[in-house]
A and B are shown apart, each in its own frame.
Chain A
Amino acid sequence: MILYDYPPLAECYAVRLLAALLDVPLEIRSLDYYPGREHETDEYLDIAPLGSVPALDTGTAVLGDWQAALIHLAAHHDATGQWLPLGDPDRLVAIHEWLAVARALAHSAGVARLHELIGQPAVIERCRTEAHRLLRHLERHLWFGERAGRRWLVEGEQPTIADIAVFVQVILCEEGGVSRLDYPAVRRWIDSVRGIRGFVVTSGVLPLDPTAPVHTLA
C-alpha cells in the first residue's frame, strides 16, 4: 500500500500509527504539502481527487479520507478484529461516534495548530473554544469510564480505531495553544495509548518510554 504523506499532519500520523501497530508495511510518498502545495497540483488530484492528505492507495482504490484509511487497515489487516469489531454493531456505532469527535477536533484544535504552525487562515479563538468544549466532553467520558473500569474510548478490553483517531488530534493540540492541563483523565488515557505495544511517535510526540527504539522518517 502507498501512503501519500505529509508527516506534520495529525491525520497522516494516524494512518502511520495504526499501520505500525498492525505491522503493515506502507510505501511512503512524501508530499511537499507546505510550502509547496503539491496536493493542489493536477498530478496529485489525478491520484487523489479529493486533494486530501493523507491518501492511501490500497491497490484497488485510493482512499482520500483518513478515517476510511483507518477502517480499511483495521478491516483487512487485523486478524484479531480488535481495532474494528465488525461483528459487534453496538461497538461499531460507538466507534463511529468517536470518529466524528475526532473530525470535530481536526476542524478546531487541528486548524488552530496549523494556524500557529504554518499560518493557515483560522478564526483562532473560536477554534480554541470549540477544542476545549470537545476536550471537556472527552474528559467527562474518560473520567466516568475510569470509574466504570473502562480504559478506552469504547467499551471493551482493547483499544479501537476510535482511540487512534482521537489520540492524534489530542496529542498535538498544545501546538495550537490548546492546553491539556485541565484534563487529567485525558492525560492518563494519552499515556495508555502511548503504552500500546508497537506504538510509534512522530515529530512533536514523545515516547512514553524514552529508551524505546527511535522512529524513522519514512
Chain B
Amino acid sequence: MDPILWNDWHVVADATALQCDRPITTRLLGVPLTVSRDAQGAVHVVGTDGSPIVSDVRHGFVWACLGKPARPILSIAELAEPDRCVTTAGSFGVHVSAGRVIENFLDLGHLGHVHAGYLGQEPQTAVEPYEVARLPDGGVHASGCKVFQPVSSPTAQSGFVVEYQYKVERALTASLYKSSFSQPDRFDVIYLFAQPLDEEHAIAHVLEIFIDDGVSPAALRAFQQFIFLQDKPILENQIPKRLPIGQRMEMPVLADKTSVAYRRWLAELGVTYGTVGAHDGGLPA
C-alpha cells in the first residue's frame, strides 16, 4: 500500500448526517469500517474485529487514518470567515477510482458539454489559457481560468464570466474557488474529498463554503447534487476505471493542463493505488 495514502487522513462519512441509531458501514483503501455515533454524541470508527481506527471529526466530516497520520487534517481558511453559508452536500458513490473523481472535478473542458446551460454552454466551450503552478507545500494550483457560466450557482440571476481557481492540496482532496455571483471579487469554495473504497470505487464527499447571500444550505445541496449527477455517468464510463498516470497512457491536450499536473504530482508522490501505468514513472516532464 502506498504510504502517502495509508498514512493520510481520508473522509469516511458525513458527520452531520450520522445518526446514533444508524451506523454506516464503508470501506477505506479496501479495509471494511463501521462508523457510528454513540448516545453521548461521540463518533467511533472501528474495523471488522471491533478494533478502533484512528479517527477525528472535522469540517463536518468523519475522518480516518489507517496508518500513522503523517500530517494533520488539512485546515480550511475560509471556514473562519463569518459571512459564509457552510454545508456538506452529501456523499455519493461512484464506480471509478478516487483519482478519476478528482481529475473530473479539475476539468474545465467538460463544463460546457456535461453541464450545458449551467456551468457552460455550447458553442462557447473552448478553454482559455490559464496558469498551473505548484503549491508551496507541493500540490497543484490552477489559476486565471475564466468561463462564461449561464447559471453558476443556486442564487445566480444571470450568466457571467466566472473566474476559477483549483487547488489539489492532498492526493485525493481538491478545492475549487469560483467568483461569487453576489460578490464577484470573492470566491465561493467547494471542497471535494474522494474516499477510495477500493481501486475502482470511490465516494465523493462535498463541502460547500459559499458567500452567504441568503442562499439556503438545502438549495446549495440541491444544485451541487444536480451537477454531480450529470458527471456520474460520464465518470463511470471512463476506461480504465483507474487513473492512468504512466507515460503514453493517454493523450492530453492543452485544456487538460491541470489534469497533467495532477497526474504527474501523484506519480511523484508514489501513488500507485487506483492508478495504471505508474511503473512508467509518470508523464514526461
Contacts and interface: CB of A to CB of B under 8 A. Distances in A.
Interface of A: 7-8, 30, 32, 34-38, 116-119, 174-175, 177, 203-204, 206, 214-217
Nearest to A205: B233
Given A203-B227, A217-B226, 8 more contacts: A8-B229, A35-B17, A36-B221, A118-B91, A177-B95, A203-B228, A204-B233, A214-B117
B218 A117 contact: no
Contacts of A174: 233, 236
A213 B229 CA distance: 19
A116 B200 CA distance: 13
B232 interface: yes
A213 B232 CA distance: 21
B93 interface: yes
A217 B118 contact: yes
A212 to B, nearest CB: 11
B173 interface: no
A206 B90 contact: no
A215 B115 CA distance: 10
Contact of A116 (B95, B117, B219): B95
29 contacts: A7-B225, A8-B229, A30-B218, A32-B218, A32-B222, A36-B218, A36-B221, A116-B93, A117-B93, A117-B232, A118-B90, A119-B24, A119-B26, A119-B91, A119-B93, A174-B233, A174-B236, A175-B233, A203-B226, A203-B229, A204-B229, A204-B233, A206-B233, A214-B116, A215-B117, A216-B117, A217-B151, A217-B222, A217-B223
Chain A at the B interface: SS class: loop
B246 to A, nearest CB: 28
B55 interface: no
B6 interface: no
Interface in B84-115: 88, 90-93, 95
Interface in B24-82: 24, 26
B157 interface: no
B124 interface: no
B14 interface: yes
A35 B226 CA distance: 14
Nearest to A175: B232
A203 B230 CA distance: 5
Nearest to A32: B218
Interface in B218-263: 218-219, 221-223, 225-230, 232-233, 236
A116 B235 CA distance: 14
B183 interface: no
A34 B90 CA distance: 7
Interface in B172-208: 203
The 4 closest A-B pairs by CB, nearest first: A203-B229, A214-B117, A35-B17, A32-B218
Contact of B236 (A7, A8, A30, A175): A175
A217 B223 CA distance: 8
